[in-house]
Structure 1
Amino acid sequence: MMTRTLTVALACAALGLASHAALALESDASQPIEIAADQLDLDDNAGTAVYTGDVDMQQGSMRLTAARVEIERNAQGEVSTVTAHGSGSERAYLEQKPSPDEPVAKGWGDTVIYHAGERRVELIDRAQLHQGGDTFNGAYVEYFLDRRQVQARSDDDGEGDQRVRMTLTPRNDQ
């Protein structure tokens, strides 16, 4: 276990992850990224890392769990995309605190993609987002972290029941 943790820490350092926010509050950028997985495939030249097997990734207030997580960095060495995949009935899961005064936002999908530069999350297939007391479900849910905007779509092929569904909770501004 200690060797796996050390290997993951070295892989994060090689990818330049420790100095960049990945799915976290702006203030979490200085927090270390900790990843536990059964396997790591790192290609430093290509700027990719692929973690498989019960992946658990944390940085500050952010947590991501999935069967497989792929991390890509851009030419400047910054994290550009984090893609998480569920397995079978288990969906990928993401939670993060959008700002210090807001509750944790939680999202699920067969695939979860985080676009770091845009601070945008895509939840794909069996998608679900809990933001405050509100919930959004559908085949595809997109969440813009900084703007607090949500876009959702139903299943395009009409099979299954992945219509867009929302539950909006009244806000008490007292």
Structure 2
Amino acid sequence: MRIVRSKINLCRCGIALAALLLCSSSYSQIDELVLPISLVADSTDYDGKSSMLMFRGLRLTQGSIGIEADEGRASKLDFEDSVWHFTGNVVIDTGNVHIESDTADLKFTGHVLRLATITGSPATFEIKRPNSNKVTYAEAGRLEYDFDAGVVEFSEQATITEGGNQISSNYLVYNIKEQRINARAGGEGDSRVRITYTPGTTDDATAGDAAPADEEIQDEQGTGDKLADENDTDLPQTTGDIPR
């Protein structure tokens, strides 16, 4: 079965998409939970053998939240208990989050998004803090988001940057509820945790205290970065410079 330029309103599924990537506890678009979901695709197929719905040239929207991809596959359309696979030029937008990746797998249970696995070369993430012009940028080869636990795992050359401050490692874990980043060394190549801090880039810095943009914490080798060989490195709890 093929339907060209299909448009589907998924009113029953309004809970699911708005739960997508609630990276901040202050997310302000909860009202969009009651809005219908609109799915527009260049073509739609149904594979009876695998019981999979397949979409090409896909755009899925709910209010200001949207997902675009070259292709999308779903085990069910109602999000009650289903898995969605997006591949090719995947773009995910919410009110304060912009993500670009090669693939995204989303698992829904009871009309609620439980798990998201996103991959890219790399996948990129831009998170704008509410009531601020500050943007936190992150990239990694792989992202796993456990929505129930409120934990995001970045792996495969992961980096989180805001202003002149940056932390990178092969494995970073961001606990949204506790506002804590755990960096763990591991993997091939340079497995050390790398932290670059530029004084004067925090919210409480004044213009007189601000340091030149190229001033960084020096390690013993004078590379301009701070390196850690510990298996685990916990950063102190932040006051808002990391996305919530």
Common topology (TM > 0.5): yes
1:42 aligns with 2:74: yes
Q: 1:161 to 1:83 in 2, by over 3 A?
A: same
Cα deviation, residue 110, structure 1: 0.8
**Structure whose CA Rg is larger:** 2
1:77 aligns with 2:111: yes
Higher strand share: 2
3-state SS of the aligned residue for 2:5? helix
In structure 2, C-alpha distance between the alignment counterparts of 1:58 and 1:79, rounded to whole Å: 15
1:91-110 matched pairs, under 5 angstroms: 91-101=122-132, 103-110=134-141
Moved over 6 A (4+): none
In structure 1, C-alpha distance between the alignment counterparts of 2:129 and 2:173, rounded to whole Å: 15
Structure 1 counterpart of 2:90, which letter? V
Q: Contact 1:102 / 1:132 at 8 angstroms: preserved in 2?
A: no
Partner of 2:39: none
Q: Contact 2:81 / 2:111 at 8 angstroms: preserved in 1?
A: no
In structure 1, C-alpha distance between the alignment counterparts of 2:126 and 2:184, rounded to whole Å: 21
Q: Over aligned residue pairs, what C-alpha RMSD do you find?
A: 2.7
In structure 2, C-alpha distance between the alignment counterparts of 1:117 and 1:133, rounded to whole Å: 32
**Cα-to-partner distance string for 1:37-89 (whole Å, 9 max, x where unaligned):** 11110112642110001100111111111111011122x32111111111xxx
Q: 1:13 to 1:60 in 2, by over 3 A?
A: farther
Q: Which has the higher contact order (CA 8 A, sep 6+)?
A: 1
Aligned length: 164
Q: TM-score, normalised by structure 2?
A: 0.58
Cα deviation, residue 169, structure 1: 2.7
Partner of 1:64: 99
Cα deviation, residue 165, structure 1: 0.1
3-state SS of the aligned residue for 1:117? coil
In structure 2, C-alpha distance between the alignment counterparts of 1:131 and 1:143, rounded to whole Å: 14
Q: TM-score, normalised by structure 1?
A: 0.79
1:33 aligns with 2:34: no
Unaligned runs of 5+ in 2: 33-62, 207-244
3-state SS of the aligned residue for 2:28? helix
1:163 aligns with 2:162: no
Give the alignment partner of residue 173 of structure 1, picking from 161, 183, 205.
205
Q: How much identity, in percent, do the aligned residues show?
A: 23
1:20 aligns with 2:19: yes
1:119-130 matched pairs, under 5 angstroms: 119-130=150-161
